[in-house]
Structure 1
Amino acid sequence: MKNNEETEKNIVWHQSTIKKEDRQKLNGHKSCMIWFTGLSGSGKSTIANALQHVLYKNNLRVYLLDGDNLRHGINGNLSFSPEDRKENIRRTAEIGKLFVDAGIVVLAAVISPFEEDRLHARSIFKEDEFIEVYVKCSLAECEKRDPKGLYKKARNGEIKQFTGIDQSYEEPKKPEIILDTTELSLVQSVELLSSYLFEKAGLKQMTKE
């Protein structure tokens, strides 16, 4: 802890001449973080990927940070313990913040089971820059789908600390939007979400001067 404090004292933030607002103007739209949370198998990555396609088709610069993909690289040294999950979310949020600063719409599809960690992720963004999407789906339905066979392995004891089985999932208290995928199809989910983003969140192409 002392070493971290010593290091922080010797590090000074270097202000860039080009600001976030300049990059947004160049890209022609606002930037933000769209955070997908939910159980494994709820449809987070599928919906996020489909939304990415819609935003791209609408000429928005967009990038998807998928939780599994991040664990192949920058988060590859983290386990699924509560402590490492916290660090996983912290890193994902910080990466997202860089994308937002670059003027890009960034999507993050991560289980992020703990409310405290999601609130911390939200706290590093401006109020209108963080949009939490709760991809709601019952545990029974997620187990029924089990697209990666992970629930079966968790039930057999092959995977430890699996969310929903031997590790809890805390539902978001105040997400911007809830998509219940036990009732909504992929098309319906993406339509609802894109309508919200374009109509209420102001995520659209700016009129260029």
Structure 2
Amino acid sequence: MKKNNSNKNVIWHQSMITKESRQKKHKHKSLIIWFTGLSGSGKSTIANALQNKLYENNVSVYLLDGDNLRHGINKNLTFTEDDRKENIRRTAEIGKLFVDAGIVVLAALISPFQEDRMNARILFEVDEFIEVYVKCSLHECELRDPKGLYKKARKGEIKQFTGIDQPYEVPKNPEIIINTNELSIEECVKIISSYLYEKVHLMHHKGGDHP
């Protein structure tokens, strides 16, 4: 997990315990599942349900929710394009620490820009970053509007709101697409968990079957 820093006086200190050793301790592979989609598409709800399923199957898992992070480490960030980039950068770096610790981390953020999601992806090994596009039409998201944010955005009370006055760039090649216009929470969780066990071999250290 070596980092690059332009300051030559900052030297990386190598840990005696490796990521692979931690994975064996947890008895499963570690990775990050990155949920992206419009506000109201169901990212946090599905991520939470998936977290419960993985936890019940003895997977060490943790959820990084975009809104929750803005109450703490990202509370000084606004919703300008630059601050959104920093929001994604910080979240990805936190996620990398979790993965290095041998944990499965779920990250649920709108993350509207392709470049930012790609910058997050390159921090991880090829099979450690699973992008899940939570597809849902803007019309349906506005109908749901669980936090009343679309209504405020339409009234001009919230600026730079994704889907209204700030664009959302649809992922080009996500590992998984779940359409919440058509699928239930349970169906979405089943699709993702099947991918994790069958394609990524999440439990390869445990040697067990798909639970």
Query: What's the TM-score bracket when you normalise by the shorter of the two chains?
Result: over 0.9
CA contact (8 A) 1:60 1:205 kept: no
CA contact (8 A) 1:59 1:205 kept: no
Q: Counterparts of 2:206 and 2:78 in 1: how far apart (Å)?
A: 45
1:96 deviates by 0.1
Q: Counterparts of 2:113 and 2:146 in 1: how far apart (Å)?
A: 23
CA contact (8 A) 1:45 1:109 kept: yes
Q: Counterparts of 1:110 and 1:37 in 2: how far apart (Å)?
A: 6
CA contact (8 A) 1:96 1:106 kept: yes
Q: What does residue 201 of structure 1 align with?
A: 200
Q: What does residue 86 of structure 1 align with?
A: 85
Q: What does residue 29 of structure 1 align with?
A: 28
TM-score (normalizing by structure 2): 0.94
1:207 deviates by 3.1
- 3-state SS in 2 of match to 1:187: helix
Which amino acid letter does the alignment assign opposite residue 39 of structure 1? L
Q: Counterparts of 1:18 and 1:203 in 2: how far apart (Å)?
A: 21
1:9 deviates by 1.4
Q: What does residue 107 of structure 1 align with?
A: 106
Q: What does residue 139 of structure 2 align with?
A: 140
Q: Counterparts of 1:82 and 1:207 in 2: how far apart (Å)?
A: 42
Q: What does residue 190 of structure 2 align with?
A: 191
Unpaired segments ≥5 residues, structure 1: none
Q: Counterparts of 2:206 and 2:197 in 1: how far apart (Å)?
A: 14
1:62-121 superposed Cα distances (whole Å, 9 cap, x missing partner) = 000000000000000000000000000000000000000000000000000000000000
Q: What does residue 12 of structure 1 align with?
A: 11
* Equivalent residues, number: 203
TM-score (normalizing by structure 1): 0.95
1:205 deviates by 5.9
What fraction of aligned residue pairs are identical, expressed as a percent? Answer: 73
Residues 123-202 of structure 1: pairs in structure 2 closer than 5 A: 123-202=122-201
Q: Counterparts of 2:99 and 2:201 in 1: how far apart (Å)?
A: 15
Q: What does residue 46 of structure 1 align with?
A: 45
1:206 deviates by 2.4
Q: Counterparts of 1:23 and 1:191 in 2: how far apart (Å)?
A: 27
State the superposition RMSD in angstroms.
Answer: 1.0
CA contact (8 A) 2:23 2:205 kept: no
Unpaired segments ≥5 residues, structure 2: none
1:59 deviates by 0.4
